[in-house]
Amino acid sequence: MAIEVRKVILEGVSDASGLAALVDEGVFAADEVIAVVGKTEGNGGVNDFTRILADQAFRKVLMEKGTRPVEDVGKIPMVWSGGVDGVLCPHATVFARVDAPPSDEPRLTVGIAMSDAILPEDIGRVAMVEKVAEGVRRAMKDAGIDDPADVHYVQTKTPLLTMETIVQARARGNTVITEETLRSMDISNGTSGLGIAVALGEIEMPTNEQICHDLSLYSAVASCSSGVELDQAQTVVVGNARGVGGRYQIGHSVMDDALDIDAVYEAIRNAGLDIPERAKAEDLDGRVVNMFCKCEADPTSRVRGRRQVMLNDSDVHHHRQIKGTVGGVVSAAVGDPAVFVSVGALHQGPSGGGPMIAIVDHG
């Protein structure tokens, strides 16, 4: 089985017409869709319900146009990241398994898994690292990947803390890592990043004291998101394998800071596309399906030696400022504002930077 991957634009909060059109045109069947990764237009915070609206719209299409039972459609990983600040455009990348002749070239393969339930008291602690790591290993097996070096992108969606789940933990006699629900988003993302790094052998199992504190620990391929709509880690592992067929390849690089436009082109080259040393958007010839990256405001409040003030801004949260900044850099590099840029990059790439992933269509 090969992977077909397409990007569709969301023309409204609950718009799934792009997915419906792909099914109607025969690009893939509804029952062949295995995962969706997308950006929605909400605030990206704890109360960003645009993620739920998009999720419902896409699952509705799959139920109406497919034959899978409702419960099976409900298990399809759909990772929605809220917030399209700046020029970013709401969109979704859809992955489907289709029949295709095998290829001797490395081609895109995808594996999916759901972790064991992540309790509110697990978030920010080793228990969550272990559960995420086990989910990643299961997703690698599903993708047919044995060598972690063949993994170029791991997208997770994990729970964050709400006042309701905090109360539930207390009722069980347990504590939670924080009672600030927005802060729990970064903590959940960071803990997931460490789980990915452990599963891929990038680091050893961290201690509770190192989680969200030791910034030297990170995964170079992790992209972690969190929300209120689930209590497990949804995991999508994307890599390359020979013999799977199809025409797509994935690659990655690491963005050292918010202005690292070279990392975009390095990821594209790593995905097998031959481009000039000093590349520009026109050199890509429409071959880039999508870019996926994580970013964060540099905790030193400096970018290339220049002082930054976004971490001091009490009016506009730094999440929104850095997302808009990096979104502009990546959009300019590929000539398309429909790129996946997500914040909260703790333990996902180096401090102040983040992983950069490219999927390329080799025709």
Token duo for residue 264: 């975009």
Which residues, in sequence order, are CB contacts of 296 under 8 Å at separation 6+? 322, 343, 344, 345, 346, 351, 352, 354
Rounded to 10°, the helix 126-143/181-199 angle is: 50
**DSSP-based three-state secondary structure for 9:** strand
Among 223, 353, 253, 342, smallest CA distance to 299 is for: 353
List, edge to edge, every strand of the sheet that includes 107-114: 107-114, 234-241, 151-159, 222-227
Q: How far apart are CA 103 and CA 270, in angstroms?
A: 18
Among candidate residues 157, 219, 226, 331, the one labeled active-site is 157
Could you report how far apart the first and last alpha carbons of the chain are, in Å?
Answer: 17
- Beta-bridge partners for 178: none
Which amino acid type is present at position 204? E
Residue 163 CB coordination number (10 Å): 10
For 194, the enclosing helix (H) or strand (E) is helix 181-199
Rg of the chain, C-alpha, whole Å: 19
Token duo for residue 236: 């999508």
294 is catalytic: no
HEC states along 257-284?
A: CCCCCHHHHHHHHHCCCCCCCCCCHHHH
Among candidate residues 188, 223, 225, 253, the one labeled active-site is 225
Among 164, 121, 135, 347, smallest CA distance to 232 is for: 135
Residue 205 CB coordination number (10 Å): 13
Q: How far apart are CA 298 and CA 52, in angstroms?
A: 30
Residues forming the active site: 157, 225
